[in-house]
C-alpha cells in the first residue's frame, strides 16, 4: 500500500492508498482514501468510504458513510446509513436514517423512521415506524 495510517489501538490497514483506520480495533482492507474511525468499524474497499459509527461497516462502492452504530452499507455511491443498526444494500443517494431502517437499493430512496424499509425503485420514502415501500 501507499500512504496508509493505522492510528487507533489495534487498528489495521491491509492495503490500498491514503486510507486511515483511526478507531480502536478498526480495519481497512484496501481501496483509496477510506476512513474507519468508529470503534471496531471496517471498510473493505472502494473509494472515499467512511465507517464512523461503532461496529459500522462499508463493504465497497464510493462516497458512502455508515455513521450509525452497527450500521452497514454493502456498496453503491453516495449512500448513508446513520441510524443504529440501519443498512443500505446499494444503489445511489439512498439514506437509512433511523434505528433498524433499511434501503435495499435503487435511486434516492429514504427510510427515515424506526424499522422502516424501502426495497428499491426511485424517490421512495418510508416515513412511518414499521412502514415499508416496495419499489
**For 88-106, how does the pLDDT look when each residue is reduced to its tens digit (9 = 90+)?**
999 999 999 999 999 999 9
How much is the average pLDDT of 57-84? 98
Average pLDDT, the chain: 98
Cell 454493502, residue?
74
Q: Which three cell numbers stand for residue 61?
A: 462502492
How much is the average pLDDT of 48-73? 98
pLDDT digits (tens, 9 = 90+) for 44-56: 999 999 999 999 9
Q: Which three cell numbers stand for residue 22?
A: 483511526
pTM of structure: 0.96
Nearest Cα residue to 57 out of 78, 81, 76, 30:
81
Nearest Cα residue to 73 out of 25, 18, 84, 86:
86
Output the pLDDT for position 135. 80
Amino acid at each position: 500500500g501507499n500512504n496508509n495510517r493505522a492510528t487507533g489501538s489495534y487498528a489495521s490497514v491491509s492495503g490500498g492508498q491514503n486510507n486511515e483506520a483511526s478507531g480502536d480495533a478498526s480495519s481497512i482492507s484496501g481501496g483509496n482514501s477510506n476512513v474507519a474511525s468508529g470503534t471496531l468499524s471496517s471498510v473493505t474497499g472502494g473509494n472515499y468510504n467512511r465507517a464512523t459509527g461503532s461496529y459500522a461497516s462499508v463493504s465497497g462502492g464510493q462516497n458512502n458513510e455508515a455513521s450509525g452504530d452497527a450500521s452497514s452499507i454493502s456498496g453503491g455511491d453516495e449512500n448513508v446509513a446513520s441510524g443504529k443498526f440501519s443498512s443500505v444494500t446499494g444503489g445511489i443517494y439512498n439514506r437509512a436514517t433511523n434505528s433498524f431502517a433499511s434501503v435495499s437499493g435503487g435511486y434516492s430512496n429514504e427510510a427515515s423512521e424506526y424499522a422502516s424499509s424501502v426495497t428499491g425503485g426511485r424517490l421512495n420514502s418510508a416515513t412511518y415506524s414499521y412502514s415499508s415501500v416496495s419499489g
